[in-house]
Amino acid sequence: MQKVKENVLLASLTTFEIGGPAKYLLSVRTEADIREALAWAADNKLRVVILGGGSNVLIPDEGIDALVVRLRGDLYACNNGAVDSWAGTNLLSAMRALGAQGWGGWEKLAGIPGTIGGAVRGNAGAFGPEIKDFVTNVRALNSETGEIKDFVNQECDFSYRHSFFKDHPEWIITRVFIRLEKVDPTVSAKLADETIAERERRHLQNVRAAGSYFMNPTAPAEIVAMFEREKQTKSREGRVPAGWLIEKAGMKGATVGGAIASLQHPNYLVNQRNATAENVRQLAEEVKEAVKSQFGVELHEEAAVL
Ligand X SMILES: Cc1cc2nc3c(=O)[nH]c(=O)nc-3n(C[C@H](O)[C@H](O)[C@H](O)COP(=O)(O)OP(=O)(O)OC[C@H]3O[C@@H](n4cnc5c(N)ncnc54)[C@H](O)[C@@H]3O)c2cc1C
Active site residues: 161, 212, 302
**Closest distance between ligand X and the C-beta of residue 205, in Å?**
4
Which amino acid is residue 154, in one-letter code?
Q
Judged by CB under 6 A, the stretch of 3-11, 50-58, 77-85, 179-187 that binds ligand X is: 50-58
By beta-carbon proximity to ligand X, the closer residue of 39 and 305 is 305
51 lies in the site for ligand X, by CB under 6 A: yes
Binding residues among 1-40 for ligand X as defined by CB under 6 A: 15
125 lies in the site for ligand X, by CB under 6 A: yes
Binding residues among 63-82 for ligand X as defined by CB under 6 A: 71
118 lies in the site for ligand X, by CB under 6 A: yes
- When binding is defined by CB under 6 A, the residue of 173, 242, 260, 280 that contacts ligand X is 173
- When binding is defined by CB under 6 A, the residue of 113, 241, 243, 266 that contacts ligand X is 113
266 lies in the site for ligand X, by CB under 6 A: no
Which amino acid is residue 212, in one-letter code?
S
114 lies in the site for ligand X, by CB under 6 A: yes
Interior angle at CA 156, CA 153 and CA 162, nearest 5: 120
- When binding is defined by CB under 6 A, the residue of 64, 112, 259, 290 that contacts ligand X is 112
- When binding is defined by CB under 6 A, the residue of 19, 21, 54, 99 that contacts ligand X is 54
- When binding is defined by CB under 6 A, the residue of 121, 132, 265, 281 that contacts ligand X is 121
Residue 183 main-chain phi, psi, to 5 deg: -135, 160
Strands (E), the chain: 5-9, 21-28, 48-51, 57-58, 64-71, 76-79, 82-86, 103-104, 135-142, 148-152, 171-179, 181-182, 255-256, 259-261, 269-271, 304-305
Judged by CB under 6 A, the stretch of 54-62, 214-222, 233-241, 287-295 that binds ligand X is: 54-62
Residues 213/302, Cβ–Cβ less than 8 Å: yes
How far apart CA 195 and CA 287 sit, in angstroms, is 29
How far apart CA 242 and CA 205 sit, in angstroms, is 18
- When binding is defined by CB under 6 A, the residue of 26, 28, 57, 245 that contacts ligand X is 57
First to last CA, the chain: 24
Closest Cα to residue 172, out of 70, 23, 59, 57?
70
Binding stretches for ligand X (CB under 6 A): 15, 50-57, 71, 87, 112-115, 117-119, 121-122, 124-126, 165, 172-173, 205, 209-211, 304
